[in-house]
Chains A and B, each alone.
Chain A
């Protein structure tokens, strides 16, 4: 027994040797105990031992195979497809199972789950919920039972999972930060020992490993007989309702987790502490109430209070926050950046992962342009095949080889076999923020909120890997603060330093921004978006005429350019001046009020409207 244990542990970190992280460990054990628990998500910053703890589970649940799903997995390997070898030899179509078949009965581990293609995550979650993998593709159908525990880990800084995917994880826990000296030292000591003499570390934790192993085995046997006191169901649903949890997955997850916890604690009945702990594991990622979230949202409230309702929105009427200011249009302030928030999907009317082939004027290109994009899937070709997907083509041809075989060719392809690649570009968006930095934006520290919003948009752009540029217009010029770049740090610094003050040369800003986006220096394949952040109150004409008419004239002209426009109306108060809205119409832009970009707040207000 003893040697057997050690043998298994080659290269695997002993589970009990992970310092701290009790909640994460509990969550993993629950998943190992209960087959009904579906999906554990672990979040944490880089280097906090997320993957180490997941992989270490094997040391205490040796029967549980851990399958690592690589980021580059393709759909046919995940769910299965046609058995090519068999097709060639026998001329028959037969289903060949994919990774999910091997995973059956084990644990599927998706490291950096937020970086996977959405379709893959969706597919995995679907199969997990069904307990069965059903495949219809490449002319074959197949199905097999497929029960597994799913564990995903992610660094939230790299982008979030969408709420509907998040909701399908029963448990979501985060790695705790290690700030005390002793535990950090211990982490370091054990890790170094593991690197140099793994057996020694395993030996020192052998007794604990055996204990946990026993606990899991015992809990699995105990689980079917765990009682849940009647009143607890009621308590659970009341709690989830209070927290604004939608749907019933949260309730179910809580009950299942509580049962697993009770079983692990060698009890036959769920107690209050189990519920308490289960709530912390199962509900955090489900509640949508911004106020309830940890961290910043509280600070949003006072900011709103700082903006009193405005009777008349006059651009000259702004209070200089710094004392050494002389009056007049020459005033200049550098406002701080307001609190960022989660941005709604404001570009959603165009698929970010747009088919390159569908681009205007790009049809018929061989896909051998400088940025060919990644091959996402394949399809039957329309017209002439130029970008052939070789492997799918071979797979399609495979079943007919027995009949077609002639001459000395090993494989005979016919026209009907050809498949072409569907390419996607994930890096293909360039956003230029055209920001009104005139004095009117300084009114009542409006700029603080505006900068907060821009920062949020920048964050969003970063997570989606868009390139961003920043141009500000004020006084009588439009200045390019940052040419389109992927460096968000630079963008942040420029935004922070951006001064506010002076008049509003909107027309000039528009034309300069448009000509920048049309210049050849930008990658021609990119999807171009101009985000105009302004209240639309132009007061510097191009020549002698009216400033706003000038702006509208320019808007009309640039609206035909191959780019998209988003207008973020920063005007506040009531009645709202409709200039930004008119500008937006002239540009054919998507229009948002600054406040409406805040996903949390929007969700909140909609919920209030629905629930009354």
Chain B
């Protein structure tokens, strides 16, 4: 069976903001995902699916239905935990990280997992059948048009995102398993809002627009046609760029893992949050984590104020203190100006 070719990430024309945001999440998954807002036809889905090709491999426990991380013993599923207590050695398997899609029409039982009906009928015994959240553990969970997701599915996501664990307590099934994932959502704001709780769970947000530069627009179309005409040839022509990007990401992840938080970025993050009157602490945390990831991506070991400034416009727009119906949009220009004045010295 041949795999459907995926448009290469590095072949996407323009949309730098969106690409940066996605890469930041690969460098540091702790940033907590990204929400991509924009009109239709702005390569949102293409970019997310293309990202899958660049994702690093990861070590998982062999045979575990939840792909438990092999080296993180704090977050094992109950059966892996059990084998560990029984003194067994967990076998390692290296698999690529992947993008798991959550379709809008999914039912609750398919998302959270449910009773394995065929098993119940043929044996009369209860068994848990893992759902999409199990599949997403350790991977990227992608929700297209996340603002149109049904409420009860949003509730499931919230629960899982809050704890990194999916608890299922329904229809005679009682089960929990780790569900740590990078949440990536796309939405067209004209079709409705996202509930504030879910919004807050997205680490970063980026607004995308159609390419406005005429030359670039032509390039977008040309590449698309080339790709559709001869996918293999097209992929080959971007092979090298893809390889470079992959190598760059691996280095950045390494650098990220070794870097230390410094007080310069902490103070900058708090300063910005206070100035904007952001309520929760997720903004501050995300600013710090994203700033470090940005520095790592740029090949620097130490992050500084300017990295915080760089990521501020991705980490803050959706976190301004606002109740529904309150007006307080992030004024990017005002923020830029203030930042410059405040941090120019």
Residues of A within 8 A of B (CB): 10-11, 45-49, 51, 68-74, 76-78, 81, 84-85, 88-89, 98-99, 111-112, 115, 155, 157-158, 177-179, 181, 184-185, 187-189, 191-192, 195-196, 340, 374, 390-392, 394-395, 401, 410-411, 426-427, 455, 458-459, 462, 465, 485-490, 492
Query: Is B298 part of the binding interface, using a Cβ–Cβ cutoff of 8 Å?
Result: no
Whole-angstrom distance between the Cβ of B176 and the nearest chain A Cβ: 8
Name the B residues within 8 Å of A155 (CB-CB). 196-197
Determine the residue in chain B with the shortest Cβ distance to A88: B124
Nearest-CB residue, chain A, relative to B284: A188
Candidate in A70, A189, A462, A489 with the most chain B CB atoms within 10 angstroms: A70
- B269 contacts chain A at the CB level, 8 A cutoff: yes
Residue on B nearest A89 in the bound complex, by CB:
B124
Provided the pairs A70-B169, A74-B171, A486-B193 are in contact, do residues A179 and B274 lie with their beta carbons within 8 angstroms? yes
* Top 3 closest pairs, chain A to chain B, by CB: A47-B280, A486-B192, A74-B170
Whether B158 pairs with A112 at a CB distance below 8 angstroms is yes
When C-beta atoms are compared, the residue in chain A nearest to B271 turns out to be A181
CA distance A487 to B148 in the complex (A): 11
Distance (Å) between the CB of B66 and the closest chain A CB?
Answer: 17
Chain B residues near A48 (CB, 8 Å)?
279-281
Q: What are 19 A-B residue pairs whose CB atoms fall within 8 Å in the complex?
A: A46-B280, A48-B281, A68-B163, A70-B168, A73-B169, A84-B126, A84-B172, A85-B126, A89-B124, A188-B285, A188-B288, A391-B115, A411-B120, A459-B325, A462-B325, A465-B151, A486-B192, A489-B324, A490-B190
Bound CA span A68–B163, Å: 10
Determine if B280 and A45 form an interchain contact, defined as CB atoms under 8 angstroms apart.
Answer: yes
Note all chain B residues with C-beta closer than 8 A to A458: 325
Scoring B residues 225 to 266 as 1 if CB is less than 8 Å from chain A, else 0, what string do you get?
Answer: 000000000000000000000000000000000000100001
Does B219 have its Cβ within 8 Å of any Cβ on chain A? no
Q: A47-B280, A48-B281, A99-B169 are in contact. Are A72 and B266 (CB under 8 A)?
A: no
Q: Is the CB of A374 within 8 A of B267?
A: no
CB B54 to nearest CB in A, in angstroms, measures: 25
Residues of B near A487 (CB, < 8 A) are 189-193
Q: Mark B203-227, 1 if CB is under 8 A from A, else 0.
A: 0000000000000000000000000
A181 touching B192, Cβ below 8 Å: no
Q: Which B154-171 residues have C-beta < 8 A from chain A?
A: 155-156, 158-159, 162-163, 167-171
Closest to A50 in B: B280
Given contacts A111-B162, A184-B284, A188-B285, contact A489 B120 (CB under 8 A): no
Give the residues from 113 to 141 in chain B that come closer than 8 angstroms, CB to CB, to chain A.
115, 117, 120-126
Query: For chain B residues 175-193, which have a beta carbon within 8 Å of chain A?
Result: 189-193
Residues of A within 8 A of B325 (CB): 340, 455, 458-459, 462, 488-489, 492
User: Residue of A at shortest CB range from B163?
Assistant: A68
Instruction: Decide if B150 is an interface residue (CB 8 Å cutoff).
Output: yes
Instruction: Please indicate the chain B residues that have their CB under 8 angstroms from the CB of A81 in the complex.
Output: 172
Chain B positions within 8 Å of A374 at CB level: 108, 150, 152
Residues on A with beta carbons closer than 8 Å to the beta carbon of B151:
426-427, 465
A485 contacts across to B, CB distance below 8 A: 190-192
A sample of 14 more A-B contacts (CB under 8 A), given A70-B168, A74-B170, A411-B121, is A45-B280, A45-B321, A68-B163, A77-B173, A84-B126, A111-B159, A157-B324, A185-B266, A196-B261, A391-B171, A392-B171, A462-B325, A465-B151, A492-B327
Kindly count the residue-residue contacts between A and B in the assembled complex, taking CB atoms under 8 Å apart: 170
A426 to B149, CA, bound (A): 13
Of chain B, the residue at the smallest CB distance from A495 is B325
Q: Of B158, B282, B324, which is within 8 A of A459 by CB?
A: B324
In the complex, the answer to whether B150 meets A47 with C-beta atoms within 8 Å is no
Smallest Cβ-Cβ distance to B319: which chain A residue: A47
**B10 contacts A by Cβ under 8 Å:** no
B283 at the interface (CB under 8 A from A): yes
A489 to B152, CA, bound (A): 22
Q: Which residue of B lies closest to A389 (CB)?
A: B171
- The answer to whether B274 touches A72, judged by C-beta atoms less than 8 angstroms apart, is no
Q: Chain A's nearest CB lies how many Å from the CB of B177?
A: 12
Task: Provide the residues of chain A in CB contact with B281, threshold 8 Å.
Answer: 47-49, 178, 184, 187-188, 191
* Most A CB within 10 A of own CB, among B171, B173, B190, B274: B171
The answer to whether A189 touches B266 (Cβ under 8 A) is: yes
Instruction: Give Cα distance in the complex from A191 to B30, angstroms.
Output: 13
Q: A391–B124 contact, CB under 8 A?
A: no
Please name the residue on chain B nearest to A48 by beta carbon: B280
The residue of chain A having its C-beta at the shortest distance from the C-beta of B158 within the complex is A112
| Contact status of A77 and B30, CB under 8 A, knowing A47-B200, A48-B280 | no
Instruction: Give the residue name and chain of the B residue nearest to A391 (CB).
Output: B171
Q: Are the CB atoms of B124 and A410 closer together than 8 Å?
A: yes
